[in-house]
Structure 1
Amino acid sequence: MSAKLRLAINGYGRIGRCFLRALYESSACEQFEIVAINEPADLDSMAYLTRFDSTHGVFPGEVDQGKQTLIINGHSIKVTHAEKPESVDWGAYNLDVLVECSGRYSSRSELMRFIQAGCPRLLLSQPADGAAEVDQTIVYGINEHVLKGDEVLVSNASCTTNAIVPVLAALNRAFSLEHAFLTTLHSVMNDQPLIDGYHRSDLRRTRSAMQSIVPVSTGLAKGVERLLPELAGKVVAKAIRVPTLNVSAIDLMVTTKQVVSVEAINTQMQALAHNAKRLVAYSSHPHASVDFNHNPHSAIIDGSQTRVNGENFVNLLVWFDNEWGFANRLLDTLGYWATHLNLSSPVQFKQPA
């Protein structure tokens, strides 16, 4: 590609800002340029929260603002504040890809509103409602090779799916899994109030995020089975929000067909980290979650916490930065997809049913 691909971001919250920052903190800024951001919040807040971040620190570059632009390292990005996809003239930006980071749209009919408003294709920072709602769901390092370049709607799955799928795939190859039970210990998210307040659908999420450990619903099991169909019917998951700002963990329990030991499990996990250096890491140091803040890996396996009960019952602990790791995977998926796009051909998209 001789020219940079033109990107826009819809939704400039935690993931939208991390995506922009990950691009500028990597060599990806040589391949992509962000030309537009749509975010309902005011421009002053957008610029301030780009410059100063309580979790990831001060932006390692210059952040300024114009009348209707966010200026990053001298590059002007047009800013709009629309509430609806069709309220932005996306076609005016001559986009190649819109990165949808609001998390508000997860069905094909909703997502097609962006296409009909002038976006050629979308990369989602959230899972879709089902496999049929998008053209592909990608966990980078597992199935990005299925991207051919003619897709219009691509999901990057979830941060938890990106963290656990490579681990489960490696365990299944080596030891043949019979069952898997996943408990995600996830940092607070912006759908939780600091003090007790209302939530549109979940009574538990009306409770203070910083005072309680809060069980919440999760679609992780379905997400895993979507990427690893060989484990269909074998995966159960639950999720618990914990009062930390960032970095999450998955407490993984599996039963195997083959006899295992702590040494055998950790050897396989070390091999996985060696073979997927940018995606998976391994450590046996005595860690706390804060050690992995701003860590770009999808998963960090804590070998010190591996346990085996009997011959076939295994427990592992997998850490992941639920913001920064996922933002980097968005970039990876986008980079792979970009090499296969035929930008000279008109986009052919599926109309909603």
Structure 2
Amino acid sequence: MISGAPASGKGTQCEMLVEKYGLVHISTGDLLRAEVSSGTEIGIKVKEFMENGILVPDEIVTDIVKSRILKPDVKERGWLLDGYPRTAAQAQSLERLGIRPDICVVLDVPDQILVDRCVGRRLDPVTRKIYHVEYDPPESEEVNARLIIRNDDTVEKVTARLETYKQNAEVIFSAYMDVFNKIDGNQPKEMVFGEIDSLLQQVQLVAKQRQKLISMEGKQEPKNYNSSSRAPLDQDNWRGIPTRLNNIPHSREIRKYFYDDIIYATQRAIEDGRIRLKVEINIPELNPEMDVYRIGTLMELVRALALSFADDGKHVKVCVQGSMGEGALAGMPLQLAGCRKILEGMDWGSYDAKGIFINIGSIGAKEVEEQDDIHSSGSSKCCGELYNR
């Protein structure tokens, strides 16, 4: 999903993304203009709204987008939503359809530059391609001669559209905070594309690794775990593999970087022949308004990961720890207590998990043993230990 104010560069980036990934580009602007061109009753209403710089009512846009996004080619190739949703109601309509993006990219450009971009835009009525008299003029005189100015690209209408966009932007961003990525849209288009492309490549890699893990789980029979069968640990064959979450802005999707870190750490441990692996996940400065969502998401992923390792014959210890406390929960951030409660209340399957391979606890800084944690300060952590039995 790509979002941004008018003339922020969404169309250009969409063209580049479609060329590389073959996604179906679904632009609400194009869909609405198609309705206007068709001269239908809906198209006449849409034209009136657009000419006055007013957002088209949610119910009209939603019906048009829903009709397009459910077509077979979209299901096969994937979708790239451009300019939708623009209101909270539209975002909710997507949720009801079970449609949620892997990434939400927002192109950030200063207002004055946006106005300059809009008033200089020209449309080729034949190819529907957008040009700019200064930044991106057509190479052909023939094309240049037939370019037209779109009705909504005047200073007055652009200013009105910017204000409308700002009124709704924060609501939309909060709806997709877990997958939100703001990118400077005032860079060369190649640099902007490079940042978006990097995000998509990470999503693809995580999806492939996740599918691989699912396939591996499907080939194995669940184990009947018994604590007496636990093999002694080889303390020498051990290497802690800390993650790097504190270097990632907390507005990035916790689900994505959690999967990335777990997959890369596990992959490195397997390749190195390690039989004991520790993964430390630092959770930096969670937004209080997002704590419940983020912690719940993280804990569900911890649970799924722990059970997948249990199915593979591993012993797993899951604990909640804060480096700020003197004793269990003393002086720790409130979200640590929430983490513990969430963990304790989760369904750990049919393995009698809590007493055998899940050890749930909340640990203060002075209670941390060297083999249980890499000491640090000022952040809360969820720490999982995974090792052979």
- TM-score normalised by length of structure 1: 0.27
Q: Which structure shows the higher helix fraction? A: 2
Select the structure of larger CA radius of gyration. Answer: 2
- TM-score normalised by length of structure 2: 0.25
